[in-house]
Amino acid sequence: MEQPNSLLQGTFPVVPTPFHANLDIDYDGFKNVIRYIIDCDVEGLVFPGLASEYAQLSKAERLEATAIVGDMCRGKLDFVVGASAPTPEEAIEYSIAGAQAGAVCAMVMAPLKFAQDEQAMIDFYRTLAEKAQIPIMLQNAPPPMGAGLNVDTVLKIIAAVPQIHYVKEETMPCGQRIEQLLSNPPAHLKGVFGGAGGRYILDELDRNALGTVPACELTEMHKTLVDAHRNHDYDTAFDAYTKMIPILNMQAVYRCNLTKQILVQRGIINSNAVRVPGPVLDDKNIAELNKLWRLVQDYMPAIA
C-alpha cells in the first residue's frame, strides 16, 4: 500500500513480456528484464502496460507474471501494477492481485468504450476504487487503445474519485495537457507522469511531470535524463534526449518488436517475437537500428 505521504516520481519503465518463437512466455527472459531494470537503479517499474502486450496475455499468464514482478521488486523499487481491463470487475481483480504482490499503485487505462460517456467513465473508476486496495493512476492513452479524454473530463473523473492519486497523460499534446492538469488539480492528485514512449519527455518535465513511464529498452538513458533534469543539469538532459530520440521515433512504428530486438542484441532476452499485431523489423530496419545505436553509445553498452 502506498504510504500516505509518499510520492511516486522518477523513471518507471514498463516491463515487456518476452516470448519464445512459439509465442509461449519466456519466463527466464522475463526475469532477466526485471533484473536489468532493477540494476539501472530506477525508482520503480510498471507491469503490465501496453508495452507488455497486456491485451494479448491470458488472465492466468497475467496473474502469474504479476506475482513474479512483485516478488522480484519487493524491497528494491516501487511496483505499479497495470490493471487495465474492459470491466471494473476485471480491473479490480488485477488491482488486488497487484496489491497482494506488493504493488503500491494500479495503473488503469480509461476504457475506449466509455470515451463518449463521462458518467460511465466516472462510474468505472469509482467502482474500481472502492475495492482496488491501492491508489489508482489513471492512464489517458489515445485511441485506438485508449479513450483520449480531454483535460476537463480527466479532472472531473479525478474530482469524483479521491483514490486517483496520479495520471499518466499520453494524449497529444502531452506537455500542454500535463500543465493544464496541474494548473488547478483536486487536492488528492499527487501528480502526473508522461508516457508516449518518452518521445516528449523534456517538454513534460519542463511542465512539472513527476517522471516518465516509457518502454524499457533505453532505461539507462531515461534514468540519466530524468535525474539530470531534476538536478537542473539541463545540458545533460538535452544531450541524452537528442541522442535517443531517433531510436524512440523508430520505436513509435515497431513498438514492442523494436524494444525486444534491442533487448535481444543486448543479451537480455532470446527472441523479438510479439503477439500484438503490427509492423515488425526486417533486416534493413535492424541495420538502421544498429547505426542509430552509435548515437547513444556514450550512455549505453554496445549491442551485438
123, 97 Cβ separation under 8 angstroms: no
What's the total number of domains in the chain? 1
Whether residue 203 is predicted with pLDDT greater than 70 in this model: the reply is yes
What was the pLDDT predicted at 1?
45
For 5-16, the pLDDT digits (tens) are: 589 999 999 999
For 31-76, the pLDDT digits (tens) are: 999 999 999 999 999 999 999 999 999 999 999 999 999 999 999 9
In a domain, 304, yes or no: no
In a domain, 261, yes or no: no
Place of cell 511516486: 8
In a domain, 18, yes or no: yes
Neighbours of 247 (CB within 10 A): 22
Structural domain for 211, as ranges: 10-238
98 phi and psi, to 5 degrees? Answer: -65, -45
In a domain, 255, yes or no: no
In a domain, 191, yes or no: yes
- pTM tops 0.85, yes or no: yes
CATH number, residue 43? 3.20.20.70
User: How far out from the chain centre does Cα 265 lie?
Assistant: 22
In a domain, 194, yes or no: yes
Q: Cis omega before residue 186 (within 30°)?
A: no
In angstroms, the CA 170 to CA 197 distance is 9
What was the pLDDT predicted at 153?
97
In a domain, 3, yes or no: no
Helix (H, G, I), strand (E, B) or coil at 251: helix
66: left (phi over 0), alpha (psi -120 to 50) or beta: alpha
Q: What is the number of helices (H) and of strands (E) in the chain?
A: 10, 8
For 276-289, the pLDDT digits (tens) are: 999 999 999 999 99
Q: Residue 302 — very low, low, confident or very high, per pLDDT cuts 50/70/90? A: confident
203, 217 Cβ separation under 8 angstroms: no
Q: Residues 82, 240, 281, 40: is their CA dihedral positive or negative?
A: negative
227, 171 Cβ separation under 8 angstroms: no
Please state at what angle helix 118-131 crosses helix 151-160, rounded to 10 degrees. Answer: 40
| Residue 213 annotated as part of some ligand binding site | yes
In a domain, 300, yes or no: no
